[in-house]
Each structure stands twice: as C-alpha cells, then as structure tokens.
Amino acid sequence: MEITLTHYLLLAMTVFLTGMVGFVVRRNAIVMLMCVELMLSSVNIVFAAYSRFHANADGHVFVLMNFAVAAAEAAIGLAILVEIFRRRRTVNVDDLKALME
C-alpha cells in the first residue's frame, strides 16, 4: 500500500482534533499548552506533506520556522506558568480567572 497525501492529511486532522478537544476540555494550563503544541505539530505535518508531494522545499522552511515559534511559545508560556504557580499554587485556568478581576 502506498502512502498518499490523503494519509498525511488524515493524520494531521486527527492530531489537530486531539489537540483542539484537549484544549477545550481540560482546565490545566500546562495541558492546554501541550494541546497547542499538538495543533502546531499537525500544521507541520501538513506543510511537510505538501512539500514532499510537490517536490518543493518551501514547506520545510515553514516547518523550521514553526518549530522556532513553537519553542519560543513553550518557553515563554512555561516561564509564565511557573511564576503563576509560585504565587498562586495552582495552574488551573478556572482559579486563574481571578487575575483578570
């Protein structure tokens, strides 16, 4: 069986939907950040798949840029969450709504 573009797109869709459902359902901020990373990874799968099937390296450049953005987002997001945890002793999003008031 040959792996086609459709297989990669179905994989990306599954990974994205897993991340999206996890982001909406879970209330822990760390889990929510991991779900955002899953969604970014699914976009990387799509870019790499289209790049491979069109024999063009442009998609791989976007994947590298997306890795840089994801790494920066994870580092900054986790640093903020560590500081919030030190002050509030929780990373539950419902408990952190008090920061907005």
- Options 1.10.287.3510, 1.10.3720.10, 3.40.800.10, 3.30.428.10; CATH for 5-100 is 1.10.287.3510
* Start-to-end C-alpha separation, the chain: 57
pLDDT, residue 71, reads: 93
pLDDT, residue 17, reads: 98
pTM: 0.86
Are 89 and 96 spatial neighbours (Cβ–Cβ below 8 Å)?
A: no
pLDDT, residue 91, reads: 86
The 10s digit of each residue's pLDDT in 54-84 is 999 999 999 999 999 999 999 999 999 999 8
Q: What is the DSSP secondary-structure string of 7-66?
A: HHHHHHHHHHHHHHHHHHH--BHHHHHHHHHHHHHHHHHHHHHHHHHTT-SHHHHHHHHH
pLDDT, residue 99, reads: 61
